[in-house]
Amino acid sequence: MTDTAEPTAAAPGRLDGKVTVITGAARGVGRSCALAFAAEGSDLMLVDVDGEVPGVPYPLSTVSQLDHTAEMCRREGVEVLTATADVRDLSALEEVRDVVLSRYGKVDALINSAGIVAPSGSPVHETTEAEWELLLNVDLSGAWRTTKLFAPLMAERRSGSIVNIASTAGLVGYRYFAGYVAAKHGLIGLTKASALDYAPMRVRVNAVCPGNIRDDPEMEGRMLSEVARALDLLADGHQELFTEQQPMNTLTDPADVAAAALWLACDASRHVTGTAIPVDAGYTVR
């Protein structure tokens, strides 16, 4: 017997028709978020610095990594734009905003994933002023700049979601990471204050606080390796050492962080704002 039934149409994605801007999108958590949002139907503007930043002691993302992220997302059938911009540069971010508005006329979600973990590895009194200012400028002020530019666009439409990728370092302290800890605590403060500023306009602002994230080769992330380097841990054994610190005896995957960001960006969390959600295998419960 010949089956003449019509093929079943694919179920609509949770973000069909939406436009999302993601910073730090070339690799790591930013890439994972981009893939998750593309799979749910969102068109994307992917932003990364794509070059070295003086004072950061490890290689940052490249243009080829950003292009690779974009190509992976296009396979989901969504439109993807890319832009090279440093989150320390307001004028560069203004250009990104203008491109998004010119192409789409709106922004529905902003994912602030751009960040650095070093220069770190020293006690407070050995931290230089330049190191301190660099960490705060990227990890805290970068999210302030993008919020400053994109939140008003959402407020005009009385709809939108901003998700700041913070850290468990925004909830607890870590020895020898004062600049990073201060920046991430500040990012959670920015999240809460922004949530109140924009709540009347139905724009939600939340934070996701990852714990130790596995360096997934497919995502090309290296944050855990850089934390280990800053602490002078053996390269071959650092993953096991970090795993032992987790109550669930496992590291967090980039996809776990992306799933939380996706939930905060879609309508399923429409009454959630001002929160800081740990995705840390129980680390901050202790």
The per-residue pLDDT for range 129-164, each reduced to its tens digit, is 999 999 999 999 999 999 999 999 999 999 999 999
Write out the DSSP string of the chain: ----PPPPPPPPPTTTT-EEEEESTTSHHHHHHHHHHHHTT-EEEEEE--S--TT--S----HHHHHHHHHHHHTTT--EEEEE--TT-HHHHHHHHHHHHHHHS---EEEE------S--B-GGG--HHHHHHHHIIIIIHHHHHHHHHHHHHHHHT-EEEEEE--GGGTS--TTBHHHHHHHHHHHHHHHHHHHHHGGGTEEEEEEEE-SBP--TTTT--HHHHHHHHTT--TTTHHHHHHHTSTTSSPBPHHHHHHHHHHHHSGGGTT--S-EEEESTTGGG-
CA 183 to chain centre: 14
CATH number for the domain whose boundaries are 19-272:
3.40.50.720
pTM of the model as a whole: 0.93
Label residue 2 by pLDDT band (50, 70, 90).
very low
Determine the pLDDT at residue 193. 98
Determine the pLDDT at residue 219. 87
Determine the pLDDT at residue 3. 46
Residues 86 and 49: beta-carbon distance below 8 Å: yes
* Residue 40 CB partners (closer than 8 Å, separation 6+): 13, 14, 15, 16, 262, 266
| 259-278 confidence digits (pLDDT tens) | 999 999 999 999 999 999 99
Determine the pLDDT at residue 1. 41
Determine the pLDDT at residue 10. 55
Least confident of 80-84, 121-125, 183-187, 221-225: 221-225
| Percent of the chain scoring above 70 in pLDDT | 95
| 195-249 confidence digits (pLDDT tens) | 999 999 999 999 999 998 888 888 878 777 878 777 777 666 677 778 888 899 8
Determine the pLDDT at residue 238. 74
Mean pLDDT of the chain: 93
Whole-angstrom distance between the N-terminal and C-terminal Cα of the chain? 62
Above 80 in pLDDT, residue 86? yes
Determine the pLDDT at residue 226. 78
Q: Is 58 a catalytic residue?
A: no
Residues 259 and 36: beta-carbon distance below 8 Å: yes
Using the Cα atoms of residue 86, residue 91, residue 97 and residue 98 in order, give the sign of their dihedral: negative
Determine the pLDDT at residue 234. 60
From 176, 180, 198, 283, active-site residue: 180
Q: What integer is the mean pLDDT of 164-171?
A: 97
| 24-38 confidence digits (pLDDT tens) | 999 999 999 999 999
Determine the pLDDT at residue 166. 98
Above 80 in pLDDT, residue 55? yes
Phi and psi for 22 in degrees, rounded to 5? -125, 120
Determine the pLDDT at residue 11. 65
